[in-house]
Structure 1
């Protein structure tokens, strides 16, 4: 009887030990493929600047499809933003590319992941430049509305949007919901 129990115990112990070893090997294999053997995601020949230049030098219909405006209007918008001094180019991202990112985001309803893939930038870089272009556009609208007496058109719209929605003052995980309360644009709602 004792030999039978000891034999069953050794058999079950070896089966459990073998299963544990297989689980460990599978986990090590997954870890190797997921974290050690990584390939670059940014493999396109054209970076953000190259793609923007290719689109702007190409067919005008492509420019309108991607940026929702003609190349002449895009250049005028970039010049207006630069002359107000509210947006400056960085070491790697030029003003034209920042504005193109914003227009691609707004015009195509693109996600942050799509912009990261298209312009070959990291998510934090994309978000930072989208916020910078939005802030500079608000400044441009305020300056042009004051000089052209268009304040009755733009300022009421901008005054309903809280500054936390225009700039990155919202805590992570919150969004601005203009239809959530009787006083529109006051309350933030968790996702």
Structure 2
């Protein structure tokens, strides 16, 4: 092959490489254009998040309650408080109402990011960012509303004072304490520690509530395998956790899963306790009479847990957030529970509980049965609280004899 032919071949190869490079570059430019410049719209529904929220708030109250688990007037008050008191701001493209609606809808339904995208016609990035904004604002509400209304516990709770079943026997009682398990999503290496009695990863939350079903304290973050008594002893033994200790002469009601200590009244051990154990078989003897009265008055916290979990489905199917944010979401659910209780007198969920004082949701009853399977060991303070328990029992028996005569 002569030199001229060789040069022609080289030129042809170079031309082929050039046009291959042009074709490759053109395809990449076209792909970039389609993906990032001329994307096919995804969220095209006419019923945007803003329009949907306006429909909910201006339509039938039942529809708003079904979607957001609160009445329209309470929701609008919540939006106003988060904006004026806790720094939540509207943006150029989203109002405070839509932001809070997105957050509350997520808690109400346990909705995933994709579900919220479709419902509010927003991108996944926008959903995540807005949810975090409201979560940050809720931190302030959590601090302000999850506390006792009477810090010094000077007043007898009205639910005790105006009920012959409990007055004067439990006049020194200031509330009840208990633990509840809430599902969480954890890395595979942590699942064994967090797997509780339900067989799924959970966090064991200690809480205290008053007789109006308002939570006055809660401690999230413990793994589901931790026993309630261990969490309780950490809460009352660590001043930084700010547990509201009962004043001298006052006490919380606690079940037999907790240790006997001064200020915490437990039932008689190895004696029937829960209401369902007395069905068809009235209490016999002084200890059973006390235990039934103790259980009936302490069920305020079981009923509070029941309303909480029935209202906020996210507590049963937590989406994949960081563990820190999952705990903050749990805190927000507790805070919204108190907020609704304090700001409405006609909430459907609380109405059912108020009209049936002894009603406890079945799933909570099952939790209670499992919770009490391992009684705690006795500790210092047993003798003093045993005297309190015996005195209440004597008063109950005396009252029972007087009614017979």
Normalized per residue, which structure has more strand? 2
Cα distance, 1:19 vs. partner? 0.7
Structure possessing the higher radius of gyration over alpha carbons: 2
Task: Give the Cα–Cα distance (whole angstroms) in 2 for the partners of residues 15 and 83 of structure 1.
Answer: 68
Please state how far the C-alpha of 1:141 moved relative to its aligned partner. 3.3
Matched with 1:175 is 322
**In the alignment, which residue of structure 2 is the partner of 1:2?**
2
1:152 to 208, 211, 231: 208
**Secondary structure at the residue paired with 2:64?**
helix
Offset, 1:158 = 4.7
Q: Which residue of 2 is the match for residue 55 of structure 1?
A: 56
Q: Which consecutive residues of structure 1, in runs of 5 or more, have no partner in the other structure? A: 162-173, 179-191
The size of the alignment, in residue pairs, is 161
Q: 2 CA distance for matches of 1:48 and 1:177? A: 28
RMSD of equivalent CA atoms:
4.0
Q: Distance in 2 between matches of 1:158 and 1:82?
A: 27
Equivalent residue number for residue 115 of structure 1: 116
1:90 aligns with 2:89: yes
Contact 1:66 1:107 (8 Å CA) reproduced: yes
Structure-2 change in CA distance of 1:75 and 1:97 (3 Å) = farther
The answer for the alignment partner of 2:142 in structure 1 is 138
Indicate if the aligned counterparts of 1:48 and 1:118 stay in contact, CA closer than 8 A. yes
Q: Write out aligned runs for 1:31-110 (5 A).
A: 31-38=32-39, 43-58=44-59, 62-67=63-68, 69-70=69-70, 72=71, 75-76=73-74, 78-79=76-77, 82=80, 86-87=85-86, 90-92=89-91, 95-110=96-111
- So what's the TM-score if we normalise by structure 1? 0.58
More helix by share: 1
Distance in 2 separating the partners of 1:97 and 1:39: 25
Q: Distance in 1 between matches of 2:2 and 2:103?
A: 77
d(CA) in 1 for partners of 2:22 and 2:222? 61
Q: TM-score, normalised by structure 2?
A: 0.32
> Which structure has more RCO (C-alpha within 8 Å, separation ≥ 6)?
2
